[in-house]
Amino acid sequence: MLQGHEVIVADNFFTGRKRNIEHWIGHENFELINHDIVNPLFIEGTKKKPNLWKTFFLFLVDQIYHLASPASPPHYMYNPVKTIKVNSIGTINMLGLARRVRARLLFASTSEVYGDPEVHPQKETYYGNVNPFGPRSCYDESKRVAEAMCYAYAQQVLLFLFKINRNKRNFFLGRY
């Protein structure tokens, strides 16, 4: 933002805290929207129109960082259905937005998609040791589904770059 980049943050603060970003509130290049990505987000277009922000957001969007998800076991176990929705429906909504505005999307995944791995460190070719009914499955399995959706969009749409980040393990899908 200090270099002139405009940043829009959409957060419902389910696990995040407003204090983490409050120092940016009021900055000319920062916009905060209290929003749950389980619901579609319409921030597209070419020009900022502040009067319309409650119903339809008009901004130039060229990069989307999908970081939404409870990541701590106490947070995702508190509401497992919400965790699954954020990682599945929320990812569909972010992929749809990226497709509409032809933006690049980074999806924050996790090495938890491997479950309780029998191999250390895991390579991208390792499929994991997962338990679809365990206490952590709401997080692990929904992140796996989200990765599969990113891959499917990359194969079917081929309009923009998808990048999946698994805690220091990055790989690309689609094309630039």
**Catalytic residues, which ones?**
139
Asked if the peptide bond before residue 73 counts as cis, ω within 30 degrees of 0, the response is no
Helix count (H) and strand count (E) of the chain? Answer: 3, 6
Instruction: Report d(CA 32, CA 21) in Å as an integer.
Output: 9
- Closest alpha carbon to 30 in 38, 20, 39: 20
- Gap between the terminal Cα atoms of the chain: 24
Cβ atoms 9, 65 nearer than 8 A? no
Non-local (6+) Cβ contacts of 9 within 8 A are 21, 30, 31, 32, 33
> From CA 139, how far away is CA 155, in angstroms rounded?
24
